[in-house]
Structures are given as structure tokens and as C-alpha cells.
């Protein structure tokens, strides 16, 4: 596991990852539910879709739309166990440990918070 600010800075340089930004719908959703509730959703998604050993459909378990957490997962390379291994150093040959789930949720939350604070300039991912 890496320092969250370092990893977000590295991710922001990836042309693939920087395509993912929150749209107006996701921003509204986040604003109306609040970060705490959305963090709980993230924990639920991670626990169900990523944390088990050999999760079903690994590499394809995270939709590209429908929830701000999904967008955040693609933006932060927490979308599947392969990306978690490659970018975050979390081994994918076993179930995730609780500390790894906490870290993953924290990465997603940090990214979501930065997106919210980035105001109305989501087309400028370098500001992240
Ligand atoms: Zn992935």
C-alpha cells in the first residue's frame, strides 16, 4: 500500500485514469447524500466485489457509470484486483485484509473529496 497523495499524483499523470471525472449527476448525488454515506457505499462495493479471494468477473466487476464510487474506482485504479496489485501493491492471490479495504476506501474518498473541491472545472484533471 502506498501513500495516498503520492499515488493520486501518479494516477493523475495517467492519460487513461484522468479521463474519469465526476459529471454533474454524480456531483449532485454526492452533494445530496454526503461524503459519509458515499464512503459507506464504497466500503460495501469493495467488500462485495473486490475483497474476496478470486472475486467473480475480476477486471470487469466495476461499472463505468451509475455511481460516483464507480467513477472514482476507475480514476484511482481500485476497480479490480489486477489494478489494485499493479498500482497499489495489494496482492491478488488472497482475500483483501481489513487494512487494505480501509486503505482502498480512503483512496476513493480522497479522490471524491478532491473532485468536489475542484469546483466546476472537471475538464482540467491536472488540478487534481
Ligand atoms: Zn481494474
Q: Is residue 128 part of a domain?
A: no
Q: Is residue 56 part of a domain?
A: yes
Torsion angle in degrees (nearest 10) through CA of 89, 117, 33, 6:
10
Q: Is residue 76 part of a domain?
A: yes
| Distance in Å, CA 35 to ligand 1 centroid | 23
Contact 21, 70 (CB under 8 A): no
Q: Is residue 125 part of a domain?
A: no
| Distance in Å, CA 58 to ligand 1 centroid | 8
| Distance in Å, CA 59 to ligand 1 centroid | 5
| Distance in Å, CA 122 to ligand 1 centroid | 22
pLDDT digit string (tens) for the chain, length 128 residues: 779 999 999 999 999 999 999 999 999 999 999 999 999 999 999 999 999 999 999 999 999 999 999 999 999 999 999 999 999 999 999 999 999 999 999 999 999 999 987 655 545 555 54
Q: Is residue 126 part of a domain?
A: no
| Distance in Å, CA 51 to ligand 1 centroid | 13
> Can you give the residue range of the structural domain that contains 97?
4-117
The total domain count for the chain is 1
Q: What is the pLDDT of residue 119?
A: 53
Q: How far is CA 46 from the centre of its chain?
A: 9
pTM of the model: 0.89
Q: What is the DSSP string of 76-91?
A: TT-SSHHHHHHHH---
Q: Is residue 65 part of a domain?
A: yes
The set of residues, in sequence order, having a beta carbon less than 8 Å from that of 95 and lying 6+ positions away, is 51, 52, 53
Look at the block and give the residue holding cell 475538464: 123
| Distance in Å, CA 62 to ligand 1 centroid | 8
CA-nearest of 83, 84, 79, 74 to 22 is 74
Separation between Cα atoms, residue 81 and residue 50, nearest integer Å: 6
Amino acid at each position: 500500500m502506498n501513500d495516498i497523495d503520492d499515488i493520486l499524483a501518479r494516477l493523475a499523470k495517467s492519460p487513461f485514469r484522468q479521463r474519469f471525472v465526476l459529471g454533474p449527476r454524480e456531483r449532485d448525488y454526492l452533494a445530496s447524500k454526503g461524503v459519509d454515506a458515499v464512503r459507506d457505499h464504497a466500503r460495501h462495493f469493495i467488500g462485495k466485489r473486490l475483497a474476496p479471494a478470486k472475486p467473480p468477473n475480476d477486471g470487469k466487476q466495476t461499472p463505468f457509470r451509475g455511481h460516483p464510487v464507480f467513477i472514482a474506482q476507475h480514476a484511482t485504479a481500485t476497480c479490480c484486483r489486477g489494478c489494485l496489485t499493479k498500482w497499489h501493491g495489494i496482492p491478488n492471490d488472497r482475500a483483501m485484509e481489513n487494512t487494505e479495504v480501509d486503505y482502498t476506501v480512503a483512496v476513493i474518498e480522497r479522490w471524491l473529496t478532491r473532485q468536489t473541491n475542484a469546483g466546476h472545472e472537471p475538464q482540467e484533471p491536472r488540478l487534481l
